Amino acid sequence: MPLTLLPLPAAEVLLNPDFLAPADAAHYLTDLNAAIAWRQEPIRLFGKEVLQPRLTAWHGDEGAAYQYSGLRLSPAPWTPALQALRQRVEQAAGTSFNSVLLNLYRSGQDSMGWHADDEPELGPEPVIASVSIGSARRFRLRPRPGVGPAHPPLTLELPGGSLLIMRGLTQRNWQHAVPKTAQAVGPRLNLTFRHVIS
């Protein structure tokens, strides 16, 4: 299945729900679960230190250091599985990436709040390629308050093996989130490939 452009104003969001064959996705899930040094990072929320409601890791080229939610992350080196996946994603996206942020949502209680990936290090029109592996989760998009177009929020289901690409003005005009769910869902791994400008 090819990438399909979603009909969203002031954004370019593309989805391929079947980017990885199920056997490949299963292989990556097992490999990355074991090979990645997953951490639960603290963030400041309304002036208080709390732990992020998910596990994270950051891999990339040396020197692709990056600020994320007030954290300074310097990347760990590429593992063989991450390199292989990077090549496939670069081919599909038609651009190159020098780093990847990994998120492990251990259960339906793990989540990611509303945000845009609009850090200056990513440049004005970043291409962000997001691979999901494991359980399907809902991915929400809404216009950025006060900035984005008049449009209702929308919810996508991102299945394991899917590839979502956000590019163009998406980060400027829209926000996205992965809400908690009361449904019994297993772990989900998400990898967002990015190009950090040094």
Ligand X SMILES: O=C(O)CCC(=O)C(=O)O
Cα–Cα distance measured from residue 158 to residue 142, given in angstroms and rounded to the nearest whole number: 16
Rounded least distance, CB 138 to ligand X, Å: 9
Residue 46 structure tokens? 């309304």
Is residue 101 close enough to count as binding ligand X by CB under 6 A?
Answer: yes
| Min dist. Cβ of residue 21 to Fe ion (A) | 25
178, interface contact from Fe ion, ligand X, none, CB < 5-8 Å by kind: ligand X
**Per rule CB under 5 A, is residue 119 in the interface with Fe ion?**
no
Handedness of CA 22, 25, 27, 29 (dihedral sign): negative
Stretch that binds Fe ion, among 15-23, 50-58, 73-81, 117-125 (CB under 5 A): 117-125
Rounded Cα distance between 27 and 157, Å, is 22
- According to CB under 5 A, which one of 12, 117, 118, 121 is a site residue for Fe ion? 117
**How far is the C-alpha of 52 from the C-alpha of 143, rounded, in Å?**
24
How far is Cα 94 from Cα 114, in angstroms, rounded to an integer? 27
- x/- letters, 77..106, toward Fe ion (CB under 5 A): ------------------------------
Q: What is the DSSP string of 10-75?
A: T-EEEEETTSS-HHHHHHHHHHHHHHS--B--EEEETTEEEE-SSEEEEEESTT--EEETTEEE-P
- Return the residues of window 102-161 that contact ligand X according to CB under 6 A: 103, 112, 117, 130, 132, 139, 158
Q: Which is nearer to ligand X, 31 or 117 (CB)?
A: 117
Q: Is 52 among the residues that bind ligand X (CB under 6 A)?
A: no
Q: Which of residues 169-198 bind ligand X (CB under 6 A)?
A: 176, 178, 190, 192
With residues binned 3-state (H G I as helix, E B as strand, rest as coil), the percentages for the chain, rounded to 5, are 20, 40, 45
Which chain residues interact with ligand X by CB under 6 A?
A: 101, 103, 112, 117, 130, 132, 139, 158, 176, 178, 190, 192
